[in-house]
Structure 1
Amino acid sequence: MKSLVALDLSCTHISSLPPSLPCLMNLHTLCLDSCTSLTDISMLGKLTALQLLSLSGSKIEKLPEEIGKLSNLKLLDLSHTYNLKTVPPNVISSLSRLEELNMKHSFYGWEVEGYGSGSNASFAELTSLECLTVLYVQVGNTRCLSKVIPFSSNNLAKFCISVDSSYHESSSPTYMYLKNLSIPVANWIKMLLMKTAELSLIGCDRIKNLVILDVCGVKGLKSLHVEDCSEMEYLINIMEEAGVPQSTFNSLEKLQLKNMENLKQICLCHGPLPNGIFGNLKVLRVQKCHRLDEILSHPLLKGLKILEELKVDQCHKLKFLFYSKELQE
């Protein structure tokens, strides 16, 4: 059995790990998915050859410090571990070769330096993992959105990051769900935005338009959802903000605006829009934006070359879908 490299005990009713498990010194893969009776996994720290460890669906309440000894670990799956409330400091950051971390619907109590009791890992531990290419995680502490946090995870190719107490799924390979984002925006956010294909901005009360967030020029952004941003009057205000990127939303295919109580226009521009803005937009959905009296201004309407779906719901002051003298003539 010493030559065993893979062991799958998923969906078994084991309540403790076999005492002989540390003898499997060549074990590379261990799956303990949905072992709901298993709570103590500290013994796993002796399996130093492990490269893949999956605990998805288990009921562990604390990630033991011994896990930090798994220096060869490349993949750690803690998804759907709803009972996980404690991740001690320096455990995650010790996994220096980790390439994939899956914490969907799991622990979200990451601390931010200067805030918290110090009993849990800091969010900076995640951003320090230089080999990380895949990350699925939720972060309950919104202070990380504006905090200066060193970011070494430059190799991220797939990620789903929810800054909220709930995890939000997406079919997009790169997705960010940011709640209560404010100015200034942390550099780690800006760096990941450059790789983001789908973005949700929720409850960004102090942001009046998106140009100041530097998200307009994100070349790969395909889908944008903006909701409950009570101070936002315009999605883009070309009249006030200098240096609007030429590439502003030129890859965007889907735009959803919901419950934007002070939104006056999607785009404020008295002249023609720069070439390409919203040029690839196919879906536009607007809901509960009660100050809007017109959905598509003439400059915006001219830019929507391939719009396929327009849905407007509960916009009580709406007078026109679009109003343009040029179109009437």
Structure 2
Amino acid sequence: MKALTNLKFLKLYRGDSDIVPPNIISSLSALEDLDMRLEAFGEGNSNFSFAEVASLPCLTSVSLRVTHAGFLSTDISFDLGNSRKFCLLVNAFGILTVRSRSFEYWWKTLELNMADVAKPMAPWVKGFIGKTEHLELRNDKHIESVGQLDEGGGLNNVKCLRLISCCRIEYIFKVGVRGEYAPQVAFRMLTELCILFMRDLKAICQGPIPLQCFQNLRKLYIGNCNNLRYLLSVAMTQRFRKLEELRVICCSEMLSIIEAEEVDPKAMACSSAAIRQSIDNKVFPRLRVLQLSGLPKLSVFYQVHDFNWFIATQIKFLLDF
């Protein structure tokens, strides 16, 4: 293979990649498109290393499906500045969610899908995260908020974000917290947010979130987050004005979808109908699908809305709590 110095495209299936000796991949200096499935990158003389992939100067498209996540902690220079696409699936073999929800991204977008990352990720990974359009993170034991992954960049290229069983995350995004830089715009392109099995999640956001954040979110899925008592504050609903689909299932401590707030004394002088109209105008004006299921403590949607409110709307809803 060393003689193939003009090779532009290389695809190696699982099994083939695991027997490639050192110094072969790095010799393919003209390679532009690399697609590999392997158990792990080698160390020493056992197999080719991740450093060989990172050294390819012409690489603009890379798809790596790797079982073991150790290489994500390798501190090395790896920058796909001119990349048309990349797909990095770590420990994602046979995962149903990857097959059913992420397949569309494998060949036409920029995707990172990482699970069981045992050590803190290297700086080059954060560089990829800043460019990715589809980000799925599972079983991470290090990050406390997603904002830490983009070093203040706001994850403004991410279109779909999935967080599953990340045990230390209490807030997806934090503002005004020591050690957290807060950009004025965050999650600008995000249209779908899915949060599952997050046992310590307290809220989606903490602090005064700028109005420009989450401005294009269309779908929000929350499931098995048993520390959540309220999904959103009233202020946060103003950032979700384009929301079309909301599904909340199996959150045992959920009391209300929108957190109750103290009513302004001036508003108290208004009629209840006026207050209701004011809330209607700013809470999910585009919502078309609502699913609330497995929420044994849920009593109201919001302090001025019981669930009879949905009967008079065009919202398709499933209530089973």
Query: TM-score normalised by the shorter chain: which range applies?
Result: 0.7 to 0.9
Aligned pair in 2 of structure 1 residues 171, 237: CA closer, same or farther (>3 Å)?
A: same
Q: Does 1:171 align with 2:104?
A: yes
Residue of structure 1 equivalent to 2:3: 69
Q: Which of these residues, 175, 183, 186, is aligned with residue 245 of structure 1?
A: 183
Residue of structure 1 equivalent to 2:138: 202
Q: Quote the offset at 1:234 in angstroms.
A: 0.9
Structure 1 or 2: larger helix share?
2
CA distance in 1, matches of 2:111, 2:211: 27
- The number of equivalent residue pairs is 254
Q: Quote the offset at 1:117 in angstroms.
A: 5.2
SS in 1 for 2:104: coil
Residue of structure 2 equivalent to 1:108: 39
Q: Counterparts of 1:55-94 in structure 2 under 5 Å?
A: 67-79=1-13, 81-82=14-15, 84-94=17-27
Q: Counterparts of 1:250-265 in structure 2 under 5 Å?
A: 250-265=188-203
Q: Which amino acid aligns with 1:231?
A: R
Residue of structure 1 equivalent to 2:148: 212
CA distance in 1, matches of 2:211, 2:73: 32
Q: Quote the offset at 1:88 in angstroms.
A: 1.0
Q: Deviations over 1:254-288 (max 9, x none)?
A: 1000100111111112x4x2121111100100111
Q: Which amino acid aligns with 1:290?
A: N
Note if contact 1:73-1:98 (Cα within 8 Å) is conserved in structure 2.
Answer: yes
Q: Which amino acid aligns with 1:128?
A: S
Q: Does 1:123 align with 2:59?
A: no
Q: Which amino acid aligns with 2:3?
A: K
Q: TM-score, structure 1 length as denominator?
A: 0.71
Q: Which of these residues, 223, 232, 253, is aligned with residue 317 of structure 1?
A: 253
Residue of structure 1 equivalent to 2:73: 146
Tell me which moved more, 217-226 or 176-185. 176-185
The structure with higher relative contact order (CA 8 Å, sep 6+) is 2
Q: TM-score, structure 2 length as denominator?
A: 0.73
Residue of structure 2 equivalent to 1:30: none
CA distance in 1, matches of 2:75, 2:63: 21
Q: Counterparts of 1:20-99 in structure 2 under 5 Å?
A: 67-79=1-13, 81-82=14-15, 84-99=17-32
SS in 2 for 1:69: coil
Aligned pair in 2 of structure 1 residues 89, 178: CA closer, same or farther (>3 Å)?
A: same
Unaligned runs of 5+ in 2: 264-278, 280-302, 305-321
Which runs of 4 or more aligned residues in structure 1 lie more than 3 Å from their structure 2 counterparts after TM superposition?
81-84, 167-170, 180-185, 324-329
Q: Quote the offset at 1:145 in angstroms.
A: 2.0
Q: Which of these residues, 169, 177, 199, is aligned with residue 232 of structure 1?
A: 169
CA distance in 2, matches of 1:207, 1:267: 15
Residue of structure 1 equivalent to 2:289: none
Unaligned runs of 5+ in 1: 1-66
